[in-house]
Structure 1
Amino acid sequence: MNLRSSWVAETGQTREDTRLNQVGATTMINPVQVRSGILPGSYDGKWRLSGFWMDKASAMTATVSEGRAVIQGDISQGVYPVSLPASEQITFAAGDAQYGRIDLVVLKVYDNLYDGSTRNEAKIEIIQGVPGQAPKAPVAPPRSLPIYEVTVPAGASAGNGGIPWNTALKDLRTPVVALGGILPVEGPVLPGAHPGQYQDTANNQLQRWDGGKWVAYPEAVGGIVPSSASTLQGSYTGQYRDGTNGELQRYDGAAWRAAFPGPYYKDLTDAGYTTSSTYTSTLLDTLAGPVQVNFVAPSSKAVIVHYGARMRGSKDLYSYLALRLTQGTTVVQEPVDDYAVIVASDTSTTQSMNRRLSGLTPGLTYTLTLHYRIVANAVNAQSWYDNAFIRVDPQY
């Protein structure tokens, strides 16, 4: 077996063993223990983690590639450095006749001082799982580092195709680095050991442990976080990011929100009429409900509202289109003629107007609703409305 270790054998540790295992990898998990894991790196520099990579050698045999790792024992046992200077092949037992199973491949350290095994060495071992309808991987033994789970189907053997390697492997490898080093994340994201620890996530985002969680670290103060890291929490209030939908967003200290919300828009696509001489939000002869827009007041406290419709009424009678502004159940402003769109024609005419609403409370949600009426001085007077709309543009 090629797996080498140091500070395990009672006698016989060579200078070569010692040199191979001077890894210096101590990613802390508490004041006296470190995280078990594999040293990162690859031959061409393209991959975070290539040590102890495993792939098919034959139907029931896999090749474990070279690498270096550390395996933490119990709190009083210390950490065991191991290295594999040349690839190693391991062979799996044939599958159960009826059920599949999940085997666990580990780097295992035997230390007679603690396990009474009469062995002092490191091995790459297969911990065979129990076959079953819903098999589970076995538990890793003490002083071991799981590197892969391998699903062995029922009846798998060298004579009938063996293990389906493309789908059977589950990679469990995780990296470790020297104390103070930036940890490249592969596999599960584990908690930090101390505030100020850094890690580089799989989507290339630098993060800092703040004592309770990993927080995205800005590439530069004022820099815009790229959309590739848009699932991460903001680092400070006022930070900006490029949202996944291309929307610029701002971190408000608790959540990412649209930096420049709006415009808000609503229209009426089914014509209707009113005979009411007082303002009403509902029209007859249409299935469409009231035309309403909800909007959040910006920090400027002001918005520009554009509203209008294609309108016609009974001959020589005025048709009105106005807005009602509410905040929750509070009426801020009723519809009034002074700010109404007015048409006096029995021919369809498109009219609109702009209006600035100010004095709003930033952050509150307001509602604008279109209202309609006709000056009724004749029997059966009607005002018709089609393509009515409201557009709200926050001012910044």
Structure 2
Amino acid sequence: MNLRSSWVTETGQTREDTRLTQTGVTTMTNPVQVRSGVLPGSYGGQYRLSGFWTFGSAAMSVTVSEGRAVIQGEISQGVFPVTLPASEVVTFAPGNATYSRIDLLVLRVYDKLYDGGTRTEATIEIIQGAAEQSPKVPVVPPRCLPLYEVTVPAGASAGNGGIPWASSLKDLRTPVVALGGILPVEGAVLPGAYPGQYQDAGGALQRWDGGAWVSYPSALGSIIPNSASSTPASYTGQYRDSTSGRLQRWDGTTWVPVVAGPYFVDNRDYGDTTSTAYTSTLAGRITNPLTLNFVAPPSRAVVISFGAKLRSTSPDFYAYMALKLTQGATVISDLEDDYATVVASKHMVSASSTYRQSGLTAGATYTLTAFFRISATTPALTGGFDNTFIKVDPLP
């Protein structure tokens, strides 16, 4: 029978039995095997991962700090727990005269029952790479947990300054935690083993949904904080606090403001017209017409304000400014004197109008265009307009 157990049989419990039935410090990768890695933790709780931290302590030597780890063997071999109770110094071979190389600093387990050799022990050792013009990382043997990549420059030796540790050490350590524990992510982000597994990705708590790591705020339906605003959206309707301080909603394609607007456009150039019919072009202006696009909010209603400094050349006649509302080629609200801003004065007078526009289609884009006219052409009259503006405020 292949079923293994610990502390049941009176005699004959093997080392394999013990390794295969451990259920302590293990982050599962499948129903039988676990992830190889380093146990998290640090003195004083300041760092996520201090076990086996390595630093250059001499020209060609590093000091490997104390730590605990687990190393998964073959599926029938089980997992090997290892502990370094005190720091250890490891020395690298001198560099090649011509080319640099990449070495691996690893934790390695030898098991003669599987290796076919004579050793049965756990070691800290260096797997030396080949010196080449474009050096490659050496192949990792079985039952090996890489800790660091170390680039050894050409000609590096104790006599000429050794290895530049600040730039040569690449941390490869990854953490593991007890079954069911929240995994602190360091290094590569690996797939989860079961739906409902959690990991701390630094900026966000994430849950494995069976195919991807999903940020925890989305699972709750709460608002993603701006500290994690780079987190990808998980569903249409999700909200986040953007780095600009605006509340946004994921529409299935992009993040859009929850409350759009306000929308505003103005033209501070003076312009005039002698037309008694509404025209969108004013003489003397560089830019014509004055238009404003806006997106209708979920309430389907907005407040529209518009105005200008107006005058007519006679106080007995009127200068008009009115708006036309369109959606594409469709006119939604046409020009009407009753809703225009009107002034009868030969002096410039500031005037504006405000009204509510309802019945819009939520999410549709509309355009407001300003039109102008004078009430009569006899005698020769001119309507003057300056500081014209249009403003749209979406209603909640």
Task: Name the TM-score, length of structure 1 as normaliser.
Answer: 0.85
**Contact 1:304/1:393, CA 8 A, preserved across alignment:** yes
**Contact 1:73/1:79, CA 8 A, preserved across alignment:** yes
Please give the per-residue CA displacement for 1:24-67, whole angstroms capped at 9, x wherever unaligned.
22212222222221111112111111111111111221111111
In 2, Cα distance between the equivalents of 1:131 and 1:370? 74
Question: What residue number does 2:306 align with?
Answer: 307
Superposition deviation, residue 352 in structure 1: 1.2
1:228 aligned to 2:227?
yes
1:108 aligned to 2:108?
yes
Amino acid of the structure 2 residue aligned with 1:189:
V
Superposition deviation, residue 323 in structure 1: 1.8
Superposition deviation, residue 182 in structure 1: 0.9
> Match of 1:114, SS?
helix
Amino acid of the structure 1 residue aligned with 2:365:
T
Please give the per-residue CA displacement for 1:282-312, whole angstroms capped at 9, x wherever unaligned.
4343333433333222221111112112233
Superposition deviation, residue 117 in structure 1: 3.7
Question: What residue number does 1:267 align with?
Answer: 266
Question: What residue number does 1:127 align with?
Answer: 127
**Contact 2:225/2:240, CA 8 A, preserved across alignment:** yes
- Shift in alpha-carbon separation, 1:77–1:265, aligned structure 2, 3 A: farther
- Shift in alpha-carbon separation, 1:349–1:103, aligned structure 2, 3 A: farther
> Match of 1:163, SS?
coil
Question: What residue number does 2:182 align with?
Answer: 182
**Contact 1:54/1:64, CA 8 A, preserved across alignment:** yes
In 2, Cα distance between the equivalents of 1:133 and 1:315? 88
Superposition deviation, residue 381 in structure 1: 4.7
- Shift in alpha-carbon separation, 1:139–1:370, aligned structure 2, 3 A: farther
- Shift in alpha-carbon separation, 1:106–1:352, aligned structure 2, 3 A: same
- Shift in alpha-carbon separation, 1:222–1:113, aligned structure 2, 3 A: closer
Alignment of 1:56-205 (within 5 A): 56-203=56-203, 205=204
> Match of 2:113, SS?
helix
Question: What residue number does 1:360 align with?
Answer: 360
**Contact 2:36/2:69, CA 8 A, preserved across alignment:** yes
Amino acid of the structure 2 residue aligned with 1:305:
I
**Contact 2:274/2:377, CA 8 A, preserved across alignment:** no
Question: What residue number does 1:335 align with?
Answer: 335
Please give the per-residue CA displacement for 1:213-258, whole angstroms capped at 9, x wherever unaligned.
2222239957543211222245676654322111123455775432
In 2, Cα distance between the equivalents of 1:341 and 1:348? 13
Alignment of 1:17-32 (within 5 A): 24-32=24-32
- Shift in alpha-carbon separation, 1:365–1:33, aligned structure 2, 3 A: farther
Question: What residue number does 2:246 align with?
Answer: 247
Superposition deviation, residue 197 in structure 1: 0.7
> Match of 1:338, SS?
helix
**Contact 1:23/1:68, CA 8 A, preserved across alignment:** no
Superposition deviation, residue 176 in structure 1: 0.9
Question: What residue number does 1:257 align with?
Answer: 256
RMSD: 2.9
In 2, Cα distance between the equivalents of 1:162 and 1:46? 31
Superposition deviation, residue 86 in structure 1: 1.3
**Contact 2:218/2:238, CA 8 A, preserved across alignment:** no
**Contact 1:215/1:232, CA 8 A, preserved across alignment:** no
- Shift in alpha-carbon separation, 1:354–1:32, aligned structure 2, 3 A: same
In 2, Cα distance between the equivalents of 1:99 and 1:275? 84
Question: What residue number does 2:208 align with?
Answer: 209
Question: What residue number does 2:349 align with?
Answer: 349
Question: What residue number does 2:12 align with?
Answer: none
- Tell which structure's C-alpha radius of gyration is larger: 2
Superposition deviation, residue 315 in structure 1: 3.2
In 2, Cα distance between the equivalents of 1:119 and 1:43? 34
In 1, Cα distance between the equivalents of 2:192 and 2:267? 55
In 1, Cα distance between the equivalents of 2:268 and 2:74? 72
Amino acid of the structure 2 residue aligned with 1:151:
T
What are the ranges of 5 or more consecutive residues in structure 1 without an aligned counterpart?
1-14
In 2, Cα distance between the equivalents of 1:370 and 1:95? 77
**Contact 1:325/1:369, CA 8 A, preserved across alignment:** yes
In 2, Cα distance between the equivalents of 1:119 and 1:347? 103
Amino acid of the structure 2 residue aligned with 1:25:
V
Question: What residue number does 1:290 align with?
Answer: 289
> Match of 1:122, SS?
strand
**Identity of paired residues, percent?**
63
- Shift in alpha-carbon separation, 1:322–1:160, aligned structure 2, 3 A: farther
**Contact 2:275/2:377, CA 8 A, preserved across alignment:** no
Query: When the two structures are aligned, how many residues end up with a matched partner?
Result: 377
Question: What residue number does 2:48 align with?
Answer: 48
Amino acid of the structure 2 residue aligned with 1:272:
G
What are the ranges of 5 or more consecutive residues in structure 2 without an aligned counterpart?
1-14
Task: Name the TM-score, length of structure 2 as normaliser.
Answer: 0.85
- Shift in alpha-carbon separation, 1:128–1:297, aligned structure 2, 3 A: same
Please give the per-residue CA displacement for 1:50-103, whole angstroms capped at 9, x wherever unaligned.
111111111221111111112223434332222211111112223333443332
- Shift in alpha-carbon separation, 1:165–1:335, aligned structure 2, 3 A: farther
> Match of 2:43, SS?
coil
Question: What residue number does 2:372 align with?
Answer: 372
Question: What residue number does 1:5 align with?
Answer: none
